Amino acid sequence: MSQKVLVTGTAGFIGFHLALALVKKGYEVVGMDVINDYYDVNLKYARLAQLGIEKKVIEYGKKVSGHPSISFIQLQLEDKEGVDRLFHNEKFDFVVNLAAQAGVRYSLTNPHAYLQSNIIGFLNILEACRHNPVKHLVYASSSSVYGLNESIPFEESQHTDHPVSLYAASKKSNEMMAHTYSHLYQIPTTGLRFFTVYGPWGRPDMALFLFTKAMKEGRSIDVFNHGNMQRDFTYIDDIVEGIIQSMVHQPVSGSDEFDPLNPNPSLSSAPFRVFNIGNNSPVPLMDYVREVEDALGKRAEINYLPLQAGDVPSTFASTDYLSKITGYKPSTPIKVGVKRFIEWYEEFYDEN
C-alpha cells in the first residue's frame, strides 16, 4: 500500500508542486487549503486544476477526488473539529504543513490573521498529530526567523530571538510549539526554514512575479534598500526535493548531537529538528533584476527606495546540516530558474 501524506496549503505555490512530486513518487496525497483571498484566488484554482480538482466540485469540508492518488478538502486550519475529523478518518502516515498566512509586509497591517492561521491553526495540527499518531510532521518555518542576525551564512545553531515582523515571530513560535509536542508526546517534527522560493506558479507578491508583471506592462519596478540587498533565491524543484528528503528522514529521540549544557536550538533530546532549506548561494538583487531583463529582452525602469519595515538586507542559508542528514543539493542556476518562470508566466497569462 502507498503511504498517505497530508499536504496543507495545496492551492499554494509550494504545496501544489509538492503534491505533484509526491504522487509521482508513489504516495497518496490528501490536499487541504482554505483558498483565502490573500492573493488572486484564480491562480489558486488554476493550480488545483492541474491536480485534477475543478473549482465547481469544491465544497467546504467535503473531500473531493482529483487525479489518481490525489484528493482535496477545503478546510481552515483554525477549524479544530474539521481538522480532527480529517485526521481521524484518513489515518495519515506523514503530514507536511505548508498552510499559513504568508507575507512579511502584510503582517504589519493585518496582524490578527497571523495569530489565527499560524498559531491557532498550527496548534490544531499538533493536537491532531498527538491524537492520531503520524510518522513525521514536517512544517514550514521561514528564513525570516533570523531577524536582526547579521552573522552570515545563517546556521541553524544560531539563536533566533530577534524577529523583525509578526510573521517571523509566528514562525519562531511554530518551532517552539513543535519542540514542546515532540518532547511531551514524542511526535517527530522537522521545521524547514525556507529561503526565497521562486519558480513557475509562484506567488504574485514575490519579487520575480512583481518584476515580470511590471516590466511586461511597461511599468517601473520598485527596488528596496536602494538595490543593496541579496537573497538566497531557491528554485521550487530544489525546495520540493528537499522537503521530501526531510520527510523520509525522521528525527529520533535521544540524539547524541544534543548537549543540554550547551543546547543547539535546532536539535533536541526529543525527536525534533530544524533545517535551513535554501540555495546556499546568495545573489545580489540587482543581478537578479538583470536576469529578468535578459529573459524578457528589455531593460527595467527602476525606482530605488529605502529598506521596508520588517525586511532585512541579506539572507544566506547554510544548508550543510540538511545536506549531511538528507543529501540535499540544490542544482538549479538562477538563469535557468528565472527563464522557466517567465516562460510559465507568458504561457499562463496569454491563455487566461
Segment 264-289 shows an average pLDDT of: 93
> In the block, which residue shows the cell 527596488?
223
pLDDT for position 107: 75
In contact, 93 and 3? CB cutoff 8 Å: yes
With cut-offs at 50, 70 and 90, classify the pLDDT of residue 315.
confident
* Residues marked as catalytic: 167
Residue 115, C-beta contacts closer than 8 angstroms, at least 6 positions apart: 170
pLDDT over 90 at 44, yes or no: yes
174 to 21, 177, 307: CA distances (angstroms): 25, 5, 27
Task: Give the pLDDT mean for 129-140.
Answer: 98
Identify which of 52, 50, 47 has the alpha carbon closest to the alpha carbon of residue 33: 47
pLDDT surpasses 90 at 103:
no
pLDDT at position 351, please?
A: 63
Structure confidence at residue 255 (pLDDT)? 74
pLDDT digits (tens, 9 = 90+) for 66-96: 999 999 999 999 999 999 999 999 999 999 9
pLDDT at 352: 57
Residue 165's pLDDT is 87
The pLDDT of 18-30, averaged and rounded, is 97
| Residue that has been written with the C-alpha cell 506567488 in this structure | 203
User: For all residues of the chain together, what is the average pLDDT?
Assistant: 93
pLDDT at residue 115 in the model:
85
CA dihedral of 182, 184, 185, 188, whole degrees rounded to 10: 10
pLDDT digits (tens, 9 = 90+) for 135-194: 999 999 999 999 999 898 999 999 999 998 888 999 999 999 999 999 999 999 999 999
User: What is the band of 111 on the pLDDT scale with cuts at 50, 70, 90?
Assistant: confident
Segment 289-304 mean pLDDT: 95
Mean pLDDT within 221-237 = 93
pLDDT of res. 316: 87
Residues 330-340 have pLDDT tens digits of 999 999 999 99
